[in-house]
Amino acid sequence: MEKQKELKVTAELVKEHGLNEEEYQNIIKILGREPNFTELGIFSVMWSEHCSYKNSIALLKTLPHEGENLLAGAGEENAGAVDIGDGLACVFKIESHNHPSALEPYQGAATGVGGILRDIFTMGARPIASLDSLRFGSPENPRVRYLVDGVVRGIGDYGNS
């Protein structure tokens, strides 16, 4: 079997992987050398908005994260939990599956809902409702219609079965 050649990491490839120059330099610092193609892909995924909320984390940190009724806050457990009295709690989870849903609408949306439900269950709770806030472009665009159809079906099929 012939060994495949490793792709050379270029500035263009770094950009295609969604990394900026500062992030790329940080990778070099962490590794102590230039990353290979596989390592670049791993960093790209792990530092993506989907996995690390790299663009929205600063905004998320401005939200309240303490209170007398808070049972589990953001990042402490699989989902957040708030004491609502009478020995009951409201357990909630927010998930963004923008990138997976843009690539494969049905499966991306279905696994997004699946992750939310999984995290609710792991807190010992049972879901009674699911809210999906969807934002797309113009419905006149065929690609947007394709995405909406797949995402809505994925959410519905996974969330209602």
Which is catalytic among the residues 17, 50, 65, 99? 50
The pLDDT tens digits of the residues spanning 44-82 come to 999 987 777 788 888 888 877 889 999 988 777 789 999
Active site residue 99: no
The mean pLDDT of 116-138, rounded to a whole number, is: 92
Position with higher pLDDT, 124 vs 58: 124
User: CB–CB of 93/106 below 8 Å?
Assistant: no
pLDDT of residue 69: 94
Please report the DSSP string for 67-90 in residue order.
-TTEEE-TTTSSSEEEEEETTEEE
State percent of the chain over pLDDT 70.
99
Is residue 65 flagged as an active site residue? no
The catalytically annotated residue of 17, 65, 97, 99 is: 97
Q: What is the model's pLDDT at position 94?
A: 85
- 8 Å CB contact between 69 and 56: no
Q: Above 90 in pLDDT, residue 144?
A: yes
The C-alpha atoms of residue 103 and residue 97 are separated, in whole angstroms, by 10
d(CA 15, CA 77): 33
28: its two tokens: 């070099």
Domains, the chain, ordered by start: 1-63 (no CATH), 91-160 (3.30.1330.10)
Task: Give the pLDDT of residue 95.
Answer: 83
Quickly tell me which residue has 């394709």 as its tokens: 146
How many other C-beta atoms lie within 10 A of the C-beta of residue 49?
A: 14
Beta bridge mates, 85: 88
Q: Which residues of 26-36 are buried (b: 16+ CB within 10 A; e: fewer)?
A: ebeeeeeeebe
Average pLDDT in the 141-157 region? 97
Cα torsion 144, 145, 147, 150 to 10°: value is 170
Q: Give the up-direction half-sphere exposure of residue 74: CA atoms within 13 A in the CB hemisphere.
A: 12
